[in-house]
Amino acid sequence: MNRSSSKARALLATAPVIPVITIERAADAVPLARALIKGGLRVIEITLRTEAAMAAAAAIAAEVPEAIVGIGTVLTAQDLARAGKAGAAFAISPGQSPEILKAAANGDLPYVPGIQTASDLTSCVNAGFDVVKFFPAVPAGGLAALNALSGPFPGVSYCPTGGISEANAPEWLANPKVIAVGGSWIAPPADIKQGNWAAIENRARAASQLRKA
């Protein structure tokens, strides 16, 4: 296991549920992070799906020091470098490539590559990564698929994302191979846009009560 993966394992182990955030306005980032923290969730993933994403993550890193903010939807080695410069505490991808695995393995930023198949997992394991994102978790076969992959890869832990909800998160977290789950239900874009921080805080509080079995 390389240093990047080792640090990612330690980080994810502190946060069984990670809010996956798509944010349109950087100005919403700080109040959003504070609502999540008040609800008991410190680890936050800001996805690189909008123009505001990197500025939002940088604002949280600078103004909400108690938050552990990461950059998601990291697709290139350049994205990985940008995440580090923005002050991100970790980076996470929906997939993986030789270039990004090499860049992450040679760096210090905690990194979680994404997988869906045994071939994906083989590439990650060969690069020294034993904590991966299983995406899209439910469409890719759900717990049955994860259990099947766990057979030939007994040392790998997973952060499933994609189709995870408040209703099914406990079932995923009960699996010994699942180190954490990622979910967008905690802070949906409509609530962020409306500044409905109380609703987000309440969902975060409920999610923070979900623990590994």
What is the C-alpha separation between 130 and 17, in angstroms, rounded?
19
Q: Domains, the chain, ranges and CATH? A: 3-208 (3.20.20.70)
177 is a catalytic site residue: no
List the end-to-end C-alpha distance of the chain, in Å, as a whole number. Answer: 25
pLDDT of residue 53: 97
pLDDT of residue 158: 98
Residue 194: other Cβ atoms inside 10 A: 11
Task: Report the relative pairing of strands 157-160 and 43-47 from DSSP bridges.
Answer: unpaired
Both structure tokens of 102: 């090499």
pLDDT of residue 213: 55
pLDDT of residue 212: 64
Containing 183, the helix (H) or strand (E) segment is strand 181-183
85 is a catalytic site residue: no
What is the C-alpha separation between 56 and 61, in angstroms, rounded?
9
What is the C-alpha separation between 148 and 134, in angstroms, rounded?
13
7, 24, 38, 45: the active-site residue = 45
**Is 189:24 a contact under the CB 8 Å cutoff?**
yes
- What pLDDT digit, counting tens, does each position of 8-38 carry? 999 999 989 999 999 999 999 999 999 999 9
63, 66, 99, 133: the active-site residue = 133
**Residues in the chain with pLDDT < 50?**
none
Closest Cα partner for 94 from 107, 81, 110, 113? 113
pLDDT of residue 145: 98
What is the C-alpha separation between 107 and 3, in angstroms, rounded?
8
Specify the residue for token string 């980080």: 11
